[in-house]
Amino acid sequence: MTTTELIIQLLITGLANGLIIALIALGYTMVYGIIELINFAHGDVMMLGCFLALTIVGLCGGEQLSPWIALPLLFLTVPFFTAGLNWSVEKLAYKPIREAPKLTALVSAIGVSFVFINIGMFWGGLPMDVFGGGGSAASAKSFPDLFGWSNLLGEQSAVLLTPRDVMVAAVTIPLMIGLTFFINRTRMGTAMRAVAQNPTAAKLMGIDVDRVIGLTFIIGGALAGVASVITALYTGSIHFQMGYRNGMDAFTAAVLGGIGNLPGAVLGALLIGLVRAVMEGYVPNGGQWSNTVVFALLILVLVFRPNGILGSRVREKV
């Protein structure tokens, strides 16, 4: 493998991973932007989405399922489920304590996270073939390989580009463009930015702030659901604790880019994806150190830019 080929390979892996992290990071950063809450349950919503995806695949024939049926089926069900779940979390666990100190909601979020992790473990114990018959609830579940590992660049090519890499880009990039358009150009998107900047003024404009907050959780949840499907297909394995690892990466990405800032979350996620790709694909034994490097990078960035790479320097809130 030449150096150029290696760089291209690391870019492919890094960007694909980064785009998945970005989908989750957007949910963290949007929610933070609007109610200044780190929704610790967000990663676990994504985890439960993965369990639903595996359940659906299991019910529909497992390995035999054609990707042309599986993809539309999963993308039309899982994001609805995670969106509804995220919305319910807000209504049940955060809204009633919205006037309380921020720390209260944070603890509530951590509580929801634990509840979801336990639901995930219970779910993995259901007696289904895809869950290994339900014998060991806590074990990792392999997700049927619906894509195969064919190389789209030809079997002789040293660089590996699989259909799953293409799927990641083909799903996430249009979604992000659509989200950017929605936030910046539509009436509801502008209302969302208004609520983030000044909820009282937003009310005086006739904006139903509760509805806008609910919508934010729905969008964040739906993006997490898309991330569930992609992650399950991409990594081929799911686990009830995966929400923690994925959520941590995404949360770090959001902080790195500047929490509350949407392009920042994507940028931070791509950076983390690339760092991990380099550590795992180039540095010998680097995989063990990738967390260290990611967090060292985070600290380094925050020392020089305390509000993240794209975060605004001053908080404009009065």
Partner 1 sequence: MTDPAAITKDPLLTLTNVSSSYGAIKVLKDLSLTVGRGEIVCLIGSNGAGKTTALRCISGINKISGGSIHFAGDSITTIPAHRIVERGLAQVPEGRLIFPRLTILENLRLGAFTCHNAKEIADGIDHAFHLFPVLGERRHQTGGTLSGGEQQMLAICRALMSKPTMLLMDEPSMGVAPLLTLKIFETIRTLNNDGLAVLLVEQNAHLALKLAHRGYVLETGKIVAHDLASNLLNDPKVREAYLGE
- Rg of the Cα atoms in the chain: 20
Interface segment toward partner 1; rule CB under 8 A; list 21-29, 108-116, 293-301, 310-318: 310-318
Assess 207 for contact with partner 1 (CB under 8 A): yes
Answer yes or no whether residue 194 interacts with partner 1 by CB under 8 A. yes
Can you give the three-state secondary structure of 61-129, one letter per residue? Answer: CHHHCCHHHHHHHHHHHHHHHHHHHHHHHHHHHHHHHCCCCHHHHHHHHHHHHHHHHHHHHHHHCCCCH
The rounded distance, in Å, linking the Cα atoms of 275 and 172 is 20
209 binds partner 1, rule: CB under 8 A:
yes
The vertex-269 CA angle with 250 and 153, nearest 5°, equals 125
- Is 95 among the residues that bind partner 1 (CB under 8 A)? no
Burial class (CB in 10 A: 0-12, 13-18, 19+), 193: middle
Quick check: 318 binds partner 1 (CB under 8 A)?
A: yes
Ramachandran area for residue 236 (φ above 0: left; ψ -120 to 50: alpha; else beta): left
Q: Which residue in 34, 93, 50 sits closest to 219, CA to CA? A: 34
| 182 touches 193 (CB < 8 A) | no
- Per CB under 8 A, the segment of 76-84, 117-125, 194-202, 223-231 that binds partner 1 is 194-202
Minimum distance from CB of 208 to partner 1 (Å)? 5
CB of 271 to partner 1, least distance (A): 24
Residue 203: CB minimum distance to partner 1, A: 4
Question: Using the rule CB under 8 A, is 180 a contact of partner 1?
Answer: no
CB of 186 to partner 1, least distance (A): 11
Distance separating alpha carbons of residues 133 and 40, to the nearest angstrom: 30
Would you say 205 or 283 has its CB closer to partner 1? 205
| CB of 16 or CB of 34, closer to partner 1 | 34
Q: Does 169 bind partner 1 (CB under 8 A)?
A: no
Q: Which of 57, 192 has the CB closer to partner 1?
A: 192
Select from 68-76, 146-154, 193-201, 267-275 the region that touches partner 1 (CB under 8 A): 193-201
Residue 119 has a CB neighbour count (10 Å cut-off) of 15
Q: Counting contacts by CB under 8 A, is residue 206 touching partner 1?
A: yes
Q: Which residues bind partner 1 (CB under 8 A)?
A: 187, 190-191, 193-194, 197-198, 200-209, 312, 316, 318
